[in-house]
Amino acid sequence: MRLETDILVIGSGIAGLSFALKAAKKHKVLIVTKKEQAESNTNYAQGGVATVTSPDDSYELHIKDTLECGAGLCHTDAVEQIVKNGPHLINELIELGVNFSREQGKLDLGREGGHSRQRIVHAKDLTGKEIERALLHNITNHKNITVLEHHTAIDLITEHNIKKRKPTGSINCYGAYAYDEINDDIITILSELTVICTGGIGQVYLHTTNPAIATGDGIAIGYRSGCKIGNMEFVQFHPTSLYENKINPTDGQSFLISEALRGAGAILKTKNGEEFMFKYDSRGSLAPRDIVARAIDSEMKKHGDDFVYLDITKLGEEKIKNKFPYIYKKCLSIGINMAKDMIPVVPAAHYICGGIVSDLDGRTSMNRLFVLGEASMTGVHGANRLASNSLLEALVYADKAAKICCVDNAKPKKSNIKIPDWDSSGTENAEEWVLISQNKNEIKQIMANYVGIVRSNLRLHRALRRITLIKDEIESFYKKTRINRELLELRNMALISYLIIRSALMRKESRGLHYSTDYPETKRSYLKDTIITNKTVK
């Protein structure tokens, strides 16, 4: 099947949906999404959107906190852009129907690690879900927006797919091939602009707060087509995911215990009840995430413990239930009453600060291709993202990109190039599906054991050798096998792991989220992003 649209959006989180709503004022937009439209990383974001709305706060303070947290690698122009555009985009969300929490009529502002002020606009402890609900409500029945669920993007369509037209200069994106899971078919989607909004990569790790869909598809697709990829070594581990003494059957997704709890006074303690964070940072339990996650990792190793505790009992049952109803209910379901018991927590992979390199408007290094949200590397997060800056970044860049697309003549002209359909000849249904689950588990184990919070050259090289082997094995299996979603995801996970390891090996220092025992110092003068480009695009 072939479809044509003005703009193709791949992914249905906050970046994709808010961009689509704005771009659809002028254009036909087609959104493809791997599962149901509401399933995205956004949906699991508990904390909120960091924005300056209080009289005791200022843009300067929010910018300063973001730059400090980013450990020298943030792009200041990108940071200024998100901070200064935050307040009006929050108002737009309110106009769209998002119900943010309020106290006496005013926005109730939470606090999280690394923030010097209360500035997190939130909807109790389910902010992402509430924003996603409101955006989907506005998108449903929109005359210019079509959503295709259960469609997984396979690869971008560029000059490389067009026989006898190998690229001579810059590469253009003409759309994407996508796998339609319901009809077991591969469709060709032709678009004048394509926007990658596929979210994160958490699933390459054994324990992650991300849902099963977070397999890094957009970044992998971008890399294969020749886009610049940046800063993949900076994987953020959220310090506090719920320790449940088992791997969650839903693809290792751990339940997030929001940083907002620490903002409301929760304290990290060892298993024997000792508060430990002040040994590591004067901000205690509210230090930035890289510091807290490393401190927890170090305490667990020192004591041989599987978890540490988060103690919020002091806040009292009524406030806990009112502010954190979702987390309270989840904890209660496994026998923990947050008002009386401490919560066992462990760090888990949560967010990637790197991704497809974009400019201040979300443009990638490829013509006719934009990237928004977690799949992008805008320079906002540097070496460590400040809590609750990610939804803000997605909103601001979606707004910028949509403005560009809606300016007259900004859209590329229709191309007359003949695009071939997907060629499945020579592929067969796989018999050895065990290879897929086995490879997936291996990738997760390797990444958890060798490419986690604390890294070393020895571990990274070991991981690189193993992942390269697995990646090559999957690639040859992929070439002769009929496509399905699991196979596409596995192929992307192997590639993402490879990119993370290669980037980590390129950074010969410790900075932000990347800590190496071989290079424990931060090189003050080395302020470079780690850039990787695929030199062998076929």
* Binding residues vs ligand SIN (CB under 6 A): 45-47, 258-260, 351, 387-388, 390
For residue 225, what are its two tokens? 């087509």
Q: Is 191 helix (H, G, I), strand (E, B) or coil?
A: strand
Q: Are strands 355-357 and 308-311 parallel, antiparallel or unpaired?
A: unpaired
Minimum distance, C-beta of residue 44 to ligand SIN, in the bound complex (Å): 9
Nearer to ligand SIN, 227 or 261 (CB): 261
Radius of gyration of the chain (CA): 22
Minimum distance, C-beta of residue 256 to ligand SIN, in the bound complex (Å): 6
Q: What is the DSSP letter of 363?
A: B
Minimum distance, C-beta of residue 126 to ligand SIN, in the bound complex (Å): 10
Question: Backbone phi, then psi, for 354, in 5-degree steps?
Answer: -90, -175
Q: In 288-325, which positions are buried (b, 16+ CB within 10 angstroms) versus exposed (e)?
A: bbbbbbbbbbebbeeeebebbbbbbbebeeeebeebbe
Nearer to ligand SIN, 46 or 191 (CB): 46
Minimum distance, C-beta of residue 230 to ligand SIN, in the bound complex (Å): 20
Type of residue numbered 170: S
Catalytic residue among 224, 262, 289, 507: 289
CA 389 from chain centre, in angstroms, equals 12
Minimum distance, C-beta of residue 223 to ligand SIN, in the bound complex (Å): 24
289 has catalytic annotation: yes
Distance CA 62, CA 40 (A): 27
To the nearest 10 degrees (0 to 180), the angle between helices 485-506 and 217-225 is 70
Alpha helices for 150-308 (secondary structure H): 217-225, 260-263, 289-303
DSSP per-residue letters across 49-97: EE---STT--HHHHHHHHHHHTTT---HHHHHHHHHHHHHHHHHHHHHT
Nearer to ligand SIN, 225 or 258 (CB): 258
How many CA atoms lie within 13 Å of 73's alpha carbon, on the beta-carbon side? 30
To the nearest 10 degrees (0 to 180), the angle between helices 390-406 and 14-23 is 20
Beta carbons within 8 Å of 277's beta carbon, 6+ residues apart:
267, 268, 283, 284, 285, 287, 292, 295
Nearer to ligand SIN, 351 or 397 (CB): 351
Nearer to ligand SIN, 386 or 467 (CB): 386
Nearer to ligand SIN, 48 or 379 (CB): 48
Nearer to ligand SIN, 187 or 260 (CB): 260
Minimum distance, C-beta of residue 172 to ligand SIN, in the bound complex (Å): 35
Minimum distance, C-beta of residue 315 to ligand SIN, in the bound complex (Å): 16
Nearer to ligand SIN, 286 or 493 (CB): 286
To the nearest 10 degrees (0 to 180), the angle between helices 76-96 and 390-406 is 80
Question: Backbone phi, then psi, for 40, in 5-degree steps?
Answer: -160, 170
Minimum distance, C-beta of residue 7 to ligand SIN, in the bound complex (Å): 28
Residues classed as catalytic: 289
